[in-house]
Amino acid sequence: MIKRIGILTSGGDAPGMNAAIRSVVLSASHFDIEVLGFYHGYNGLIADNSKIITSEDVDSIIQLGGTILKSARCAQMLEETGLIQAATTLLKNKVDALIVIGGDGSFNGLLSLQQHWSGKIIGIPGTIDNDLDGTDHTIGFSTAVNTALDAIDKIRDTADAFERVFIIELMGRHSGHITFNVGIACAAEQVLSFENFTKGSEQQTLQDLAKDIKAAKANHHHSYIIVVAEHLWQGGVNKLAEDLSKVSNIDCTACVLGYIQRGGSPDAKDRITATKMGVAAVQGLLDGKSGYMVGEQNNSIAYLPLNLAVKHTKTVSDSLVRAQDNILALTAKR
Least separation in angstroms between CB 280 and ligand F6P: 23
The total number of residues shown for the chain amounts to 334
- Beta-carbon contacts of 125 under 8 Å, excluding residues fewer than 6 positions away, are 101, 103, 132, 135, 138, 139, 277, 293, 294, 295, 309
What is the DSSP-derived secondary structure letter of residue 55?
T
- Catalytic residue among 57, 59, 104, 129, which? 129
Q: Between the CA of residue 114 and those of 119, 122, 291, what are the distances in Å?
A: 8, 11, 9
- The sign one gets for the Cα dihedral 184, 190, 191, 197 is positive
Picking from 297, 263, 301, 250, the residue whose alpha carbon sits closest to that of residue 280 is 301
Least separation in angstroms between CB 121 and ligand F6P: 21
Select the residue whose beta carbon is closest to ligand F6P and give its number: 12
Binding residues for ligand F6P, rule: CB under 6 A, are 12, 73, 103, 127-129, 171-173, 230, 262
Least separation in angstroms between CB 34 and ligand F6P: 30
Nearer of residues 89 and 147 to ligand F6P, judged by Cβ: 147
Counting Cα atoms < 13 Å in the Cβ hemisphere of 254 gives 18
- Beta-carbon contacts of 263 under 8 Å, excluding residues fewer than 6 positions away, are 15, 65, 66, 147
Nearer of residues 263 and 291 to ligand F6P, judged by Cβ: 263
Nearer of residues 102 and 134 to ligand F6P, judged by Cβ: 102
Cβ proximity of 121 and 112 under 8 Å: no
Nearer of residues 129 and 195 to ligand F6P, judged by Cβ: 129
Cβ proximity of 162 and 252 under 8 Å: no
Picking from 207, 208, 160, 206, the residue whose alpha carbon sits closest to that of residue 187 is 160
Q: Assess whether 129 carries a catalytic annotation.
A: yes
Nearer of residues 129 and 267 to ligand F6P, judged by Cβ: 129
- Segment (H or E) for 83: helix 80-92
Cβ proximity of 275 and 19 under 8 Å: yes
Q: Between the CA of residue 99 and those of 8, 270, 283, 299, 322, what are the distances in Å?
A: 7, 18, 12, 22, 38
Nearer of residues 119 and 140 to ligand F6P, judged by Cβ: 140
C-alpha angle 271/185/167, rounded to 5°?
115
Annotated active-site positions, please?
129
